[in-house]
Structure 1
Amino acid sequence: MSTPVEPYAVGVVLAAGMGTRVGADGNKAYLQVAGLSMVSWSLDTLDRCADVARVVLVFRRGERELAETTVRRELPAAAVEFVEGGDSRHASENNVLRYLAADIDSGAVDAVLIHDAARPVAELDMFATALAVAREFGGAIPALAVPDVVWATGAEIAAMSGAGAPVRVQTPQAFQAGPLLHAYRAADRDGFEGTDTSSCVEAYTDVEVRTFPGEPRNLKVTYARDIAVAERLLIDRAQRPRR
């Protein structure tokens, strides 16, 4: 994957969490699902995204060798960069933005996609949509209208299921790179730590964060039972013609 002359997007996969509820002995991002580790499924999808010029894996402290070995073995043709994560999601995102800061400040990077390794089934179309919406409006978050999850408001949510309806937020999420970096620099200065990327962006910028329809198949592997579901979905996807 070569870096283009025009401003480009960077895709980030977060694999620095603990994931204890899934019952794994180690980091669940490296659990094998349908022939690949979960993290490799996400990296492979980003690597095939035409609008993404660079792919970065944020690994848990002490797991650099595991991360590099996994990618080298499972995705030998992929160009993946590695950044050590922090003690929280916010800290991990802050680390990767510091890593990208010079290229964002120069204008070389105009958008950043952020995705959880625990969502290995996310389709290529979701990444492309998130990036297109973010480039137009500032930020993009996929959301599913479901009962008893999170309360949210906004035109997009209202269009999906009525104002004030509960929604489940997913990844991939995307943001214009300049405002995103500004938000995390300001948060670092103030000691603010958001619950997710958009909360930090909304706290420190005037960027419009839009929602777009999420995908029910894009489950987050949280419990042991989710692994079997993800495996079935990935096997089904692998049997479809690759675009």
Structure 2
Amino acid sequence: MSHYYGLVPAAGTGSRMGVDLPKQYLQIAGRPMIYYAVRAMASSPRIAQVFVVLAADDAWWDEYDWAEFAGKLQVLRCGGATRADSVTNGLAAMGVDAQDWVLVHDAARPCLTGAMIASLIDAVGETEIGGLLAIPVADTLKRARGLHVSATEPREGLWQAQTPQMFRHAMLQQALSLDNGFIPTDEASAMEALGHAPLLVAADSSNFKVTYPNDLTMARLMLAQERAET
């Protein structure tokens, strides 16, 4: 029987946030943003262990107390220059079986819930390819030339990818090691480059990625509401 593992690549700097601190360490209610991504994954009874991939010279992680995740959380200081590099290095260091499932989740998606994780695992089941959380595109899409609209793109059939993205360990390793000059921006695109068609599992917009300062404000509000309701 396959096991499920979480992998959180967190070696980036988050330059679009306009701050010196890597964005995964920006504060939400007194905790670094990555805490909430780790908490969601570690709290799932179906995930055996959560691996966090840090840059080798990360100076912030050890400033926080991670004791509540003891026994389920392992830090891997093998982050790379790109997300794909960090995931590749993390996969190599995990030491799990080839057919085990790996759920790769962004450190900057702090509003992930246990229900979303369960929905992904249930939908993918024991399929061979795997899948990802995503939402259908609702807004009208404009292609730009400079700062002017050059075309309106049809949105039918378009989905916005989220995380976790869940694939078997060996297959994801193979996809990320493909040497064809293509640099994948997520795990699903690496799988697509191998000719696979990952399953789209409908999530919702609350599982957004914190990219710009206003996103952080929204995440703080949502997590504050969660605390008020519990």
In 2, Cα distance between equivalents of 1:68 and 1:8: 28
The amino acid that maps onto 2:75 is F
Give the unaligned 5+ runs of structure 1.
Answer: 1-5, 152-161
* Deviation at residue 95 of structure 1 after TM alignment: 0.4
Contact 2:6/2:47 (<8 A) preserved: yes
In 2, Cα distance between equivalents of 1:149 and 1:134: 29
* Deviation at residue 81 of structure 1 after TM alignment: 1.1
In 2, Cα distance between equivalents of 1:141 and 1:199: 11
1:90-239 matched pairs, under 5 angstroms:
90-100=84-94, 102-105=95-98, 107=99, 110-137=100-127, 138-145=129-136, 146-148=138-140, 164-185=156-177, 187=178, 189-190=179-180, 192-204=182-194, 206=196, 208-239=197-228
1:65-104 matched pairs, under 5 angstroms:
65-70=59-64, 73-78=65-70, 79-83=72-76, 84-100=78-94, 102-104=95-97
Sequence identity, in percent?
Answer: 29
* Deviation at residue 163 of structure 1 after TM alignment: 7.9
Are residues 1:240 and 2:229 paired?
yes
Are residues 1:50 and 2:45 paired?
yes
In 1, Cα distance between equivalents of 2:62 and 2:5: 19
In 2, Cα distance between equivalents of 1:31 and 1:18: 11
Give the direction of change, closer, same or farther, for the CA distance of 1:76–1:127 in structure 2 (3 Å limit): same
* Deviation at residue 149 of structure 1 after TM alignment: 5.8
* Deviation at residue 39 of structure 1 after TM alignment: 0.4
* Deviation at residue 238 of structure 1 after TM alignment: 2.0
The DSSP-based 3-state class of the residue aligned with 2:220 is: helix
TM-score of the aligned structures, taking structure 1 as reference length: 0.79
In 1, Cα distance between equivalents of 2:142 and 2:194: 22
In 2, Cα distance between equivalents of 1:58 and 1:150: 35
The DSSP-based 3-state class of the residue aligned with 1:170 is: strand
Higher relative helix content: 1
Backbone CA RMSD of aligned residues: 2.4
In 1, Cα distance between equivalents of 2:51 and 2:218: 26
TM-score of the aligned structures, taking structure 2 as reference length: 0.83
The DSSP-based 3-state class of the residue aligned with 2:183 is: coil
The DSSP-based 3-state class of the residue aligned with 1:136 is: coil
In 2, Cα distance between equivalents of 1:121 and 1:240: 14
The amino acid that maps onto 1:142 is L
Contact 2:141/2:155 (<8 A) preserved: no
